[in-house]
Amino acid sequence: MTLYVDADACPVKDEIVRVAERREVAVVLVSNRGFRTGGHPLLRSVMVEPGPDEADKWIAAHIAAGDVCVTSDIPLAARCVEQGATAISPTGRVFDADSAGLALATRDLMTTLRETGEIAGGGQRPFSQKDRSRFLDALDALLRG
């Protein structure tokens, strides 16, 4: 099992490292800017070309059944689940085939409603300590198997 992280805007990288160390799971941090791993034996940083969705494309091309992806990107989560992997958001939401499809449909509907002016605003609520705690619990449960 490998843990892939859509790392550019991920607010839980430190938590991922702590859980990965406890469970002895390899972590691949994929981003447009790269991360220093300090020679950590479980961490690998992959820097992709600048551009929209380049990290997502790299993760989707390398993830395999049984792996886990940490991402806020619903289309990436759905792609990972289609390939037999598990996806989890930084707020601790675990995606399976049903929930990823529903989340993707809801995202597309909300985008359409915002574009047509049916609803205003959008965006995510601020990341909270409760989100961080829920993520830690959910990731640890996933890696325990």
Query: Hey, how many other C-beta atoms are within 10 angstroms of the C-beta on 86?
Result: 22
Specify the pLDDT at position 109.
60
DSSP classification of residue 88: E
- Strands of the sheet containing 86-88, edge to edge, are 43-47, 26-31, 2-6, 68-70, 86-88, 94-95
Please name the residue that has the structure tokens 């992709």. Answer: 48
Specify the pLDDT at position 117.
76
Domains along the chain?
Answer: 2-96+126-144 (3.40.50)
- Note whether 63 and 37 are within 8 A (CB): no
Specify the pLDDT at position 59.
98
Please name the residue that has the structure tokens 């601790």. Answer: 92
Dihedral sign (CA 113, 115, 117, 121): positive
Confidence (pTM): 0.84
Distance CA 139, CA 6 (A): 15
How would you write the pLDDT of the chain (145 residues) with one tens digit per residue? Answer: 999 999 988 999 999 999 999 999 999 999 998 898 999 999 999 999 998 899 999 999 999 999 999 998 888 999 999 999 999 999 999 997 776 666 666 656 666 666 777 776 666 678 999 999 999 999 999 998 7
